[in-house]
Amino acid sequence: MDELMTYLQQPGFERLWRAVADKYQRHGRVGGRVQLTGLSDEEIDALSGLLAVNLDGRTEVAIQLSKIDEALLNSKFRIGVADVLVRLFPDMRTREEQLAEASASWTAFRDWAKAGVHRPAVLDWIERLSEGNAPGYRTYMDCYRAYQRIGRCDDWRIAMKALEVSLSPHRVWRLPVFAAEVTGDPHGLDRNTLAGKVFYWGLVALTADSDAADSSLISALQPTATSDSEHVDDLESTDTASDAPSEYMRSVYMKAGIRLDDVSSIVWVGNWAGLFEVPVALPLMALDNHVKEVPAVDSVYVVENPSVFAELIEQLPFGVPVVCTSGQPSVAALRLLDMAVAAGSKIRYNGDFDVKGLQMTLSLGNRYGDAFEPWYMDVYTYRLASNEKQPELSDREVQMLKSLNVDWDDELIPAMTLVRKKVFQEHIISKLLSDF
């Protein structure tokens, strides 16, 4: 055996066996041919001896695997290509073998993932995950990779335990309190942890309406696929630039009796007669539990930046309501504006003249329709306020601007892409105050 390995491992054969192994691995049989170019003297000598042909002066050669197999069988070692590859590459698997092993591993993980799960809806969700056709597929794949490494995924088990005890109609839990009760760790089901992600997607499967979740959530967020890269997943839908949960996400948890943080989501409001005359930061908890409606006014003036809010509050006449979203509108901000529109008020909104500012304006416009009006978000204001000292729009930002459909002013985007300056609310405070 040592003599055989010494013969096979001589330097002149190194490229040959690697090429043969690649061909055999792809086809799963001794077939086809391999081609070697730029032959060295060592390779010419080794190949000439194996094939019993004179290759002197050759710089390349194409050899049928069947000829190599025949030459090996006729040698003193009496061994074929398949056995040679087993000795040289003991871990090598053909494509068919690899697929069979992967299928067996995937099935074993699915069965492991179902163990200890009793809820039919969760079992059905796991089955659909295993077919690549359910929300949470990417997270499921993360769990599978953990299972492959160590034979288990503790985060999956934590989430399954939580899903078994959630959805109680008798009590509403705040997520950290629920996590502490179930896992012993208040952060055990945080949305940025693997266990928290599994738990969330499990709730989606348990709580989503039959005519909404499978059609709108799965098709919009996670189209059916077997490729991890084709899925959009993992709680990316948020209501601010940080990781605040979106309205939809909150509704998923609430259907399960789980309340997310309702204190950190705030909206600034002030100068609103009959509501809050002094400026206050109103948390979502107050809007959920105490403020059920707001006094009707003709218009509510909404700004993006806290500094602008403070300036307006100090200088506007009493009774002109001002709301500040502090960037991307939080759920609290949206809840308050919903109430204002329901009371018959118009939302007049001013944001920064940049990509995010226009995106937020468009988003609020889509939400409130005829009750929404951009407030000094026009080309005239932009041109008047822009100057050389302001930061420039990058090439990427210019391309993003061109993709926006700013239907309230057809000239705004062309002007911004030409001037290429970012104009912030702080630059137009005097313009905003001029209305009053």
pLDDT of residue 191: 87
Among 92, 111, 135, residue at a domain's last position: 92
Q: How far apart are CA 388 and CA 405, in angstroms?
A: 26
pLDDT in tens, 97-153: 777 888 899 999 999 999 999 988 899 999 999 998 888 999 999 999 999 999 999
Are 29 and 102 in a shared domain? Answer: no
R_g of the chain, CA atoms, integer Å: 33
pLDDT of residue 210: 34
Are 197 and 334 in a shared domain? Answer: no
Among 259, 287, 308, residue at a domain's last position: 259
- The closest alpha carbon to 412, from 362, 347, 346, 371, belongs to 362
Q: Is the pTM of this model over 0.85?
A: no
Are 73 and 129 in a shared domain? Answer: no
- Total domain count for the chain? 3
Are 36 and 168 in a shared domain? Answer: no
Are 123 and 15 in a shared domain? Answer: no
Are 333 and 369 in a shared domain? Answer: yes
Query: CB-based burial of residue 250 (10 Å sphere; 0-12 exposed, 13-18 middle, 19+ buried)?
Result: buried
Are 171 and 315 in a shared domain? Answer: no
pLDDT band at 85 (very low <50, low <70, confident <90, very high): confident
Q: What percent of the chain has pLDDT over 90?
A: 49
Q: Which residue has the higher pLDDT, 9 or 261?
A: 9
Domain of residue 194: give its range. Answer: 97-259
Are 103 and 245 in a shared domain? Answer: yes
Q: What percent of the chain has pLDDT over 70?
A: 90
Are 42 and 125 in a shared domain? Answer: no
Are 143 and 252 in a shared domain? Answer: yes
pLDDT of residue 433: 93
pLDDT band at 170 (very low <50, low <70, confident <90, very high): low
Residue 244 has pLDDT above 80, yes or no: no
Structure token digits, residue 111: 């069965």
Indicate the average pLDDT of the chain: 85
pLDDT of residue 276: 84
The residues, ordered by sequence, that sit 6+ positions from 325 with a Cβ below 8 Å of its Cβ are: 267, 302, 303, 304, 333, 360
Are 292 and 255 in a shared domain? Answer: no
Among 232, 259, 286, residue at a domain's last position: 259
Contact (CB, 8 A) for 123 and 166: no
Structure token digits, residue 39: 């032959």
Contact (CB, 8 A) for 322 and 309: yes
Are 345 and 398 in a shared domain? Answer: yes
